[in-house]
Structure 1
Amino acid sequence: MSEHRRKPPQPEGGGRAAARRAAQQRPGRGAGPERDVPTASPSGPYAEPPGHGGRAGARQATPRGRGAAGAGAGRADKRLINYPRSDKDGWQRFVPSWKLVCGTALGFFAVVTAGAGIGIASVNTPDPNKAAQAQNNVFFWADGTQMVATGGSMNRQIVPIDKIPKSMQNAVIAAENESFETDKGVDPMGIARAVWNMAKGGSTQGGSTITQQYVKNTYLDSDQTLKRKVTELFISIKLGVSEEKDTILAGYLNTAYYGRDAYGIQAAARAYFGKDCKDLTPSESAFLASVLKGPNLYNPDGGVGTAATPEKNTERAKERWAWVLDREVAVGRMQKAERDQFKEFPKIVDSEQARSLSGQTGYLVDTAKKYVMKVTGLTGEEMARGGYQIKTTFQKPRVDALVKAVEDTRNNFLDEKARPEYDTFVQFGAASVDVKTGAIVALYGGPGMDKKYFSNNADTLGVPVGSTWKPYVLAAAMRYGTQNSHGQGISADSKYNANDETVINNRDGKPLRDASGKPFRQKNEGPYPYGYVTLNEAMEKSINVPFAQLVFDVGHSKVREVAQSTGILKDSMNPNDDASFALGTSTPSAIRMADSYATFAASGTHRDPFSVTSVEKDGKELPGFGAPKEQRAMDNSIADNITKVLENVVDNGTGTKVRKLGFTRPAAGKTGTTDQNKSAWFVGYTPELSTSVALFRTDPNSKDKKLISMNGVGGVDSIHGGDIPAAIWTEYMKEALKGVPVKEFPEAEKIGVTADASGAPSPSPSFSPSPSPSMPSPSASSSPPVSPSPSKGGKPTCKPWELYCIPDTNGGTNSGNTNGGPGGTGGPSGSPSGSPSGKPGRPGGTSWGTSMGTSG
């Protein structure tokens, strides 16, 4: 027999089966060392592994003990921490024992407890008398000279708890921290509840206790670092166990920020109600407790951002105020009978916070501050704490020139003593933007915050822009073409019917219908029979009908796209696809209009308006400032052709007052006038500077601040954009550009196809003013039907710029004192009354008083 087939010796008693059992026997348990068990060790009975069973058998025969001691010795190893576990095999070795788990938990708890104890012992509790002292915010002109320093000492006065009415204490506890009187400074369940609510997208109320908020208020900065959060937690715990609840509550109320630059309950009571805090009523206390949720969104004055308009803030404040009162009843801090006494929102006094900022300084600071907050994300509270060095784009000589132009024109045209029923409440707003950079070099915001006029007219939505909107309609037609041009851009030589009361057709070619179902007829300012005219001439004479039709031929969305690309904010645009959209029912701010027209001056290059070039704090410059990046809004050929058309307006059309007053530099611009003379605009530019001027009339003491007709203002029947606004523009631009070399606009290359509207006559050598034979002459029978009248009390029964909605006006925009439709008869007023939500609106009724913060 060959060597490799030789059978190994068999153990006694059992043959092969016994051998296999012996080989598979686990060492250290049933098998003693004296057994003849094959091993892989040379010290075993066989110097070679057994030949039968192959590799599997060899593996099975390998001893499973661990350590140098060989079989049965591995589990005798003793360690301080038995992990991985030596008494287990496979994955079970990595499952910790209960002893290990308990020991680790106890150790961790001991370390945390010791650390917390050391941390709590090492922190100091806050002193409201020494809490977070404010510094000045210093604003500089564009040339680096100081404009004004604001702040310096917080508007705060510490009052003891016995001077704070119980109603205020109850309102804050009910709204902010129901468990305040029983918690230990922190509320773990409240934190967990806030995290859960936040995960669901709901309110985070209950995440911070009053104690934690008090601690947070005592810090000068608001850095969201882990170290700060841990420190705040330690201080809160220490306060919760070492201080009386009355002391903590008084500290919180005396250090909290309530808006209007008011820190502390006493300052807040004076700022909002003109009284000491001890005299606050339960209703007033509920309001102040509401503002604590966030002054930017709950201060009725308004805040930063499109969601923080005065109207939206007032609505939120009223809802929160009612909720706080109901909450007090729910948690047992007010009787239902007492709650039922408070049905009316408390009367808030006018803000006094800007009284020290006289003239235009308050508006300049307001514009710059909101721009800083927009760029950095700083809150009003953080800005109020000061320490910022802010360099603005405002040029003092040009600001002074704009103020002088407004005041000179006011003095020349208005006489409040002689014509009080007409010349009172007339308001001006203006802004001037550098064409090359987008920097706001000057603005006029109103008579002055020191004169109790706090709305910044330069950075405010709500005043319809009238025919200054028409260039966007023409620019869209040049870019996208019309139905008749088959997708090719059209030229300003294209002809459209301009006759008064022309039927406007939808994109499908069918007549637009009014409220009664009859074909809608657009009105012009007068009944002159123009016939078919070029769009260039329609712009020159500011004729409504051609643009009311053109917007349907191009598409409203295309016009919006063009306007938005030049810097007009979406929220300021009429959202409805009606004829009035082409005629200026949108309400951008003066800053945005000046910046948007600067895009035409810059041959289609747009730059967002900005008012701050640098901000420093503690010697470090904050990032994000300087000139915004430029963007291509439209082809330069389109922008230059719009400029050519608007030059014709100044030279030969409704803007000729600019030339009559001696302005000789190259200039382009457009006039705008809305229905019933409720607003008038002139927006114009040179190659260097773009300036907008708005004129409107509103009673600042009225509840809804509706626009008032300017018919009779200045002793004339009606006011147009080519009158007072153009006069202000001209006087300012002459002074602002004094010494600046004259520059020409780029030559406009010929673009687009001539795509006349349907029904236009064949090209003829000259323009004929006679009406088209197919057009009926205006008559009483062809006048538009009467639209639904407002409901009782003068409130509109529809949204003010919806199709056919005409609350207490005659109709469309930019049609003087004539009837209009969707843009004229049956359409929204150029100055609709009431906001889109049906709540009291701003002048113009759509969005008055909104400080956007993003425009400068």
Structure 2
Amino acid sequence: MVGRGSDAVTRSGRGARLAARTLLVLVLAVLVAGTTFVGGLLAAPLDVRAVPPAPKPVLLLGADGTQFGQIRPAQRREVLRGEDIPEVMRQAIISAEDSRFLDHKGVDPIATLRAAYRDLTGGRRQGGSTITQQYVKNVYVGNDRTFGRKIREAAVAVRLENRKSKDDILTDYLNVLYLGNSTYGVQAASKYYYGVDVKDLALEKPGQPGAPDEVLALARASMLAGIAPAPSAWNPVEDFAQARLRQKYTLNQMVSNGYVTPQQASEAFRREAAVLPKKVTPPEPPSTAPEYADIVTAQLQERFADDPDQLDRGGLRVRTALDTDLQEAVTRAAREVLPDQDDPQAAVVAVDISSGDVTAMTTLRRAPAKGDRPEITGYTRGGFNLAINGRRSTGSTIKPFTLAAALEKGLTLDTRRSAPSCDTIEDPNAEGGSYRYCNAAGEGGSSRRLSLQRALQGSVNTVYVPLAIEAGRPRIKQLMLDAGVVASEAAFATAPSSFGLGTTALASPLSMASAYGTLMNAGVHVAPRYLLEVRDVDGGLVSREPEQPEPVRRALSPQVAEQVVEAMSGVTARGGTARSARQDFTVYGKTGTTNDSTNAWFIGCSREGRDVCLAVWMGYDDESCGEQLTRSCGGMKDVNGVEQVYGGTLPADIYDRTWEILDEVQARRAAEPSG
């Protein structure tokens, strides 16, 4: 046993001597190979750079250049002055990363040789880079894993130490080092992990009376500094136990360096609860069109998927199709018509007829019953967007597409059909194999025959359900697909035979506005567009969208489309279902209401300088519906003085009020001084 032990010791000694000789050879080789290169670097002038400024947000602009929101940079970083960083934070980072920082001249040969020796002998890996070298890597030479980069890093570090004070270098480093979870610099990290500015590390609740707690500051600073060498591996959010080991190491180093006493270090380490990460993220930047901002953000992330740094660096100026005046109008109109917490949900979308540009969007989705009132638009960034994601039953807003299919069959607007008050249709999906349906009160009768145009104006179900059978359901479905009501045939998979009544949850407010735009655009569907162009911080063009985004397709002939549009002009006339939406310009539209007023729609389109289709939806978004809103959950009755809500009541009121407010907004803008 002793002999084997002696042999083991001998082998260990031989291994150490071999490692030492190998290390010496490597050092000599490095010195010989690098002397000329390093000499040239040391002789070259050094561009002493300031700390890179904090990333700028991406600005979201309307079509006229008015800002309506911004995208927060993915990199969270704030630049502080030296006096705003407490001494305990400086001492902690020196102890954790570079205890000889105040003694060396940018490069620490002792630390470098010690790290190399431990690598060669299989000991615990240890970095040899100084704080100055780490800063140089971040700001000057990058993070390439090459020998040349390490040589440049060392040379620049030496030169930087001759140009800047230790205090300034340390301040700069504390403003750029990565500390995990997208935080760069001690200020951003302190806010994320503890919810306080780094200058307030000693305060439990900044802004409130109380003496600074220096032990609290020591606990927090040692935790932040401890994770700095490897923030991904020692992330306190992912592995708090490992982060605590690093905190303990840092505190021990602070004791060794004479910054704190053993008692202070022990007391700080016992403050475990004080260093639990709070994960405080800043709120999303405010926006006058938060739904729109979320959509644009998602599209930009997709656009720059191959070069995410371009988006993360910030500073881009993104011009969108948003009409900021119209956006203000639809937002105010929706909130004026539906001001109360227990009012129904709503979504309003405006789409330009010829370009497909989405020019306005707002939603009202009430907060859960916790006493909190909704925000100004009722939407929180990152939330569920009723305007594009809420698939609802469309009611009679689907009838123009039934009419289009009938006109293609050779019928005309003057073709007359029987209009009984109620009727029954065979439907294998319905209970008993049939489905009974009726008209709204006052429409139709046992002996009445109505033209297709008049039946559309009055939304007469007993004309349009048989008409859907006559025109052919397959053709109606294809029209709805081509016009943009639905995105794929899969949407019709569970549609009953009575889908011509709009009883199936098929469409969103956006898709309905876009589909009506197809009718108004001579039968040509243009995909909705949000982005117009992206420019960099200096104004250089990064990308520009085509005038008409794909897909552009013909859904129906210009002749048929124009006849449908003509028929829709009667909806706001005397005898129509949306008389309250009458304006001083022609409105081409249609109302829609599903059983028991669970959904109510008004879609109105205009020309004469207001070339948009505006879709208004109202309904209840009860949790029992499920997140996809695939079924309705309650009728709308006794809402703001309206006994029962139909498409021609409150939805039409929102449409009408939108244009009134828009006139006010534009008049106000015109009266504002230019420049």
**TM-score, structure 2 normalization:** 0.55
- 1:737 Cα shift? 6.9
Of 720, 725, 729, which residue of structure 1 is paired with 2:646?
720
2:464 to 532, 547, 550: 547
Matches within 5 A, 1:359-758: 360-375=288-303, 377=305, 383=311, 385-411=313-339, 424-446=342-364, 448=375, 453=380, 454-479=383-408, 481=409, 489-504=410-425, 511-513=426-428, 515=430, 517-526=432-441, 529-530=445-446, 531-571=448-488, 573-584=491-502, 585-617=504-536, 619-628=540-549, 630-651=552-573, 652-659=575-582, 663-687=583-607, 688-699=611-622, 707-736=633-662
Mapping of 1:192-207 within 5 angstroms?
Answer: none
1:408-453 CA distance string (max 9 Å, x none): 3235xxx55xxxxxxx052221122222322222222335488664
Amino acid at match of 2:512: M
CA contact 1:569–1:588 (8 Å) conserved in 2: yes
How far did residue 608 of structure 1 move? 1.8
Query: What is the aligned partner in structure 1 of residue 205 from structure 2?
Result: none
1:537-581 CA distances to partner (integer Å, 9 max, x unpaired)? 321221223332333333333222212222233259443342332
Number of the residue aligned with 2:16: none
- Output one character per residue of 1:516-538: Cα deviation in whole Å (capped at 9) or x when no partner: 55444334445963554332232
> Shift of residue 503 of structure 1?
3.0
Partners of 1:552 and 1:561 lie apart in 2 by 14
Question: How many residues in Structure 1 have an aligned counterpart in Structure 2?
Answer: 449
Partner of 1:328: none
Shift of 1:621: 1.7
Please report how far the alpha carbon of residue 666 of structure 1 lies from its aligned counterpart in structure 2 after TM superposition.
1.5
Gaps of 5+ in 2: 1-28, 38-50, 79-88, 94-118, 120-136, 151-176, 196-219, 225-233, 239-277, 365-373, 667-675
Two-structure CA RMSD over aligned residues (Å): 5.2
Deviation at 1:693, TM superposition (A): 1.1
Mapped partners of 1:678, 1:352: distance in 2: 38
Contact 1:256 1:265 in 2 (8 A): no
Q: For 1:451-493, what per-residue CA distance to the aligned partner results, in whole angstroms no more than 9, with x for missing partners? A: 66433333332232221111112212223x2xxxxxxx32233
Partner Cα distance (1:689, 1:255) in 2: 44
Looking at structure 1, the residues matched to 402 and 309 of structure 2 have their Cα atoms a distance apart, in angstroms, of 43
Given that residues 141 and 395 in structure 1 are in contact (C-alpha distance below 8 angstroms), is that contact kept between their aligned partners in structure 2?
yes
- CA shift digits 1:150-204 (9 cap, x unpaired): 32573479999xxxxxxxxxxxxxxxxxxxxxxx9xxxxxxxxxxxxxxxxxxxx
Distance in 2, Cα, partners of 1:614 & 1:734: 31
The question of whether the paired residues in 1 share the 8 Å contact of 2:362 and 2:377 is answered with: no
Residue pair 2:304, 2:310 contacting (<8 A) in 1 also: no
Amino acid at match of 1:640: E
Instruction: Give, in angstroms, the shift of residue 697 of structure 1.
Output: 2.2
CA shift, 1:715, in A, is: 3.5
Letter of the 2:486 partner, please give it: L
Q: Distance in 2 between matches of 1:514 and 1:148?
A: 47
Once the two structures are TM-superposed, the CA of residue 256 in structure 1 deviates from its matched residue by 6.3
Query: Quick one: structure 1 residues 732 and 517, their matched pair in 2 at CA, closer, same or farther if it must change by over 3 Å?
Result: closer
* 2:569 aligned counterpart, secondary structure: helix
The TM-score normalised by the length of structure 1 is 0.44
- Per the TM alignment, residue 352 of structure 1 is displaced from its structure 2 partner at its CA by 7.4
Query: CA 1:490 to 1:388, structure 2 compared with 1: closer, same or farther past 3 Å?
Result: same
Distance 1:356 1:701 in 2: 31
Q: Residues 452 and 537 of structure 1: is their aligned pair in 2 closer, same or farther, counting only changes over 3 Å?
A: closer
CA distance in 1, matches of 2:449, 2:319: 53
CA distance in 1, matches of 2:306, 2:283: 20
In structure 2, how many angstroms separate the alpha carbons of the residues matched to 1:469 and 1:235? 68
Cα drift, residue 379 of structure 1:
8.9
Give 1:364 deviation, angstroms. 2.9
Give the aligned residue type for 2:615: S
Distance of 2:193 and 2:556 partners within structure 1: 50
Indicate how the Cα distance of structure 1 residues 539 and 236 shifts in structure 2: closer, same or farther if over 3 A, else same: farther
What is the rounded CA distance, in whole Å, between the counterparts of 1:370 and 1:673 in structure 2? 32
Contact 2:532 2:544 in 1 (8 A): no
Distance 2:148 2:468 in 1: 64
**Conserved? CA contact 1:472–1:563, under 8 Å:** yes
Gaps of 5+ in 1: 1-113, 123-129, 161-183, 185-218, 221-227, 238-250, 258-262, 271-275, 279-284, 290-348, 417-423, 482-488, 505-510, 741-856
Q: Residues 519 and 564 of structure 2 are in contact (CA less than 8 Å); yes or no, is this contact kept in structure 1? A: yes
* Structure 1 CA distance for aligned equivalents of residues 665 and 194 of structure 2: 52
For 1:138, the equivalent position in structure 2 comes to: 59
Separation in 2, partners of 1:455, 1:380: 25
Letter paired with 1:563: M
- Residue 376 of structure 1: how far off its partner (Å): 5.2
Task: Report the Cα offset of residue 691 of structure 1.
Answer: 0.9
Deviation at 1:654, TM superposition (A): 0.5
Q: Is the 8 A contact 2:327 2:362 kept in 1?
A: yes
Q: Quote how far apart the aligned CAs of 1:689 are.
A: 2.1
Residue number in structure 2 paired with 1:842: none
**SS of the residue 2:464 aligns to:** helix
Partner Cα distance (1:554, 1:350) in 2: 59
Q: 2:592 is matched by which residue type in structure 1?
A: G
Q: How far has the Cα of 1:686 moved from its partner?
A: 1.1
The residue number in structure 2 matching 1:841 is none
Shift of 1:633: 2.6
Cα distance between partner residues in 1 of 2:376 and 2:332:
17
Contact 1:133 1:385 in 2 (8 A): no
Aligned CA distance change for structure 1 residues 718 and 351 (closer, same or farther; 3 Å): farther
Structure with greater proportional helix content: 2
SS in 2 for 1:665: coil
Q: Are the structure 2 counterparts of residues 672 and 452 from structure 1 closer, same or farther at C-alpha, using a change threshold of 3 Å?
A: closer
Alignment of 1:81-160 (within 5 A): 134-152=55-73, 154-155=75-76
CA distance 1:232–1:535, shift in 2 (3 Å)? farther
Aligned in 2, Cα 1:707/1:577: closer, same or farther, shift over 3 Å? closer
Decide whether the 8 Å contact of 1:355 with 1:450 is kept in 2: no
